[in-house]
Amino acid sequence: MRVDPKSTAKRIFPVDAFSCSSNCPRFSMKDLLLLYSADHKGVVFSWAKSGETFGEAVFSTGMTGYQETLTDPSYHKQIVIMTAPHVGNTGVNTADKESEKIWVSGFVVRNPSPIASNWRSEKTLEQELIDAQVVGIQGVDTRAITRHLRDRGVMRVGIFSDTTLTKDEMVIKVRQVPVMSGAFLAADVTTKEPYIVNPPKGVATRFKVAAIDLGIKSATPRAMSNLGIEVHVLPLDTTFEQIKSLSPDGVFLSNGPGDPSTMTAVVELVRQVLQEEIPFFGICFGHQILGRALGFETYKLPFGHRGINQPVIDLTTGKVEITAQNHGFAVSAPKDRDFKTVYGNGRVTHISLNDSVVEGMELISVPAFSVQYHPESCAGPHDASYLFQRFVDLMQTPRLGLRENNA
């Protein structure tokens, strides 16, 4: 996109701050984005750590929850563009972290707060990014970039600050960035060793769940433990035999980064869980993997769903939920009728009100269901928190499975 240097837009981002499409024949970039600090006085500044960084450009529509976004492992290898213009006013704190580190490759904001004003704040957002060696940029019109990504889809991006590179050299670097389709990233974010999250003091342990960590957020096992679940968080490469040795009441499959088509081993694991009719609950990446285990294809969305204000309708009740989401892939399953699988019939239970993407599924004869969104709601509304109770109910009174129905 070219910007007229004489226009007011120059105050938002510099000429060629992002370049693409046929409007820029020199680069012919339909799938690349450049963001770099400018020489124009008061226009675009490096922010957080100076340097360069690369990833897939995605936007998040949440007005709050930037700390949870930064520490969500599902954002691994992505550069997040915040549509909310003012970011950072509440600083950061240890309690709101969803993992041990910041996972985003870069952070793009319009107007970061120069101070942190909140009684829970421990440091400023910029200082946290600097400490984590995360490159950022400020002063760009993030909503203009969001419209650009909505029109053309997510694309590879590079952020450059304090650089002597020419635009041609920047383009060469960005072209070398791997695309997200075909990316196997869960191994980068999964726990290295199993660990247990026990119910808090005063809550009796009622169930044991094996949770496969594909990039799990800390709020998720905590939400389950609050309902009396002893959560065994297990690495990506956990075998079905290892799961069975725990004698779990249920199996949970978490969110995570990457392309679900690369998760062949975990897909096979889910099929074994379904065959044994162990109650199953999957969210986000886990929802997509369940879809593939049932024989459905997954596909890349043009720009995905990211933010804490995504509307979803429950097709069984007609109730609308405002949900927290972070995904770039979706399941291709029939929404107008029940579907048949080797595990019996199933159905789509939830769809997006924005674009009709499949947001939830369940099997009718086997105790298994999934949603594309985040019921732990950190950050985000608590409309979907009931799903953890549904998982409890499923473990408490599993529906009759295939073996009983076919007897």
Positions marked catalytic: 284, 374, 376
Give the DSSP per-residue string, 234-256: E-TT--HHHHHHT--SEEEE---
Q: What is the DSSP letter of 72?
A: -
Q: DSSP strand E in 315-396: where?
A: 320-332, 339-341, 344-352, 358-363, 368-371
Tokens 């954002």 correspond to 75
d(CA 329, CA 258): 9
- How many whole angstroms separate alpha carbon 328 and alpha carbon 340? 26
Which is nearest to 71 in space by CA: 213, 200, 219? Answer: 219
Evaluate whether 298 touches 329 at the Cβ level (below 8 Å): yes
Q: Would you say 191 and 235 are in contact if contact means Cβ atoms under 8 Å apart? A: yes
Which residues are CB-neighbours of 1 under 8 A, at least 6 positions away?
18, 19, 20, 21, 23, 24, 148
Q: Tokens for 407, please give them.
A: 């007897």
- Judging by DSSP bridges, how do beta strands 280-283 and 250-253 pair with one another? parallel
Helices (H), ranges, 80-158: 125-131, 142-152
How many beta carbons lie within 10 A of that of residue 114, not counting itself? Answer: 9
Structure tokens at 131: 């400490």
Dist CA 225 CA 231 (whole Å) = 7
Contact predicate 194/220, CB 8 Å: no
Q: What is the dihedral of CA 282, 398, 314, 78, to 10 degrees?
A: 0
For the chain, the maximum distance between any two Cα atoms, rounded to a whole number of angstroms, is 77
Q: Where are the beta strands (DSSP E) in 92-150?
A: 106-109, 111-112, 135-138
